[in-house]
């Protein structure tokens, strides 16, 4: 399969032949038979949204102290703190606030 690249505004015009192909797709049925059903077995392996948990922690102010410290660090300070494990250990207890 070859790759075709266009820049914005450089798309070729749609030919009448392509318009006919697209029009034919409007009436074609979609085959859903290869999609498994959404039953209890599917949802048994589902995981909750991790961003919701992070958002809840943020609402409680769990990250406020960390961000206050980090915003005043230089990149060198941050690299050193990460190497020494300071940022990781500081984040570990944040969920308790």
Q: Residue 68's pLDDT is what?
A: 67
Whether residue 60 is contained in a domain is answered as: yes
Residue-level pLDDT at 16:
94
What pLDDT shows up at residue 15?
92
Per-residue pLDDT, 93:
45
Q: Which domain holds residue 69?
A: 50-97
The contacts of residue 73 (CB under 8 Å, 6+ apart) are 81
Which stretches in the chain have pLDDT values below 50? Answer: 89-97
0.95 surpassed by pTM:
no
**What pLDDT is attached to residue 88?**
54
Q: Is residue 86 part of a domain?
A: yes
Residue 24 belongs to a domain: no
Residues present in the chain in total = 97
């Amino acid at each position: 399969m070859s790759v075709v690249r266009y820049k914005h505004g450089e798309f070729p015009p749609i030919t009448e032949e392509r318009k006919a192909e697209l029009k034919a797709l409007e009436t074609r049925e979609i085959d859903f038979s290869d999609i498994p059903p959404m039953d209890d077995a599917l949802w048994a392996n589902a995981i909750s949204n991790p961003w919701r948990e992070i958002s809840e922690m943020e609402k409680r102010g769990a990250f406020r102290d960390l961000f206050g410290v980090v915003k005043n660090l230089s990149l060198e300070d941050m690299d050193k703190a990460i190497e020494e494990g300071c940022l990781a250990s500081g984040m570990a207890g944040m969920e308790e606030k």
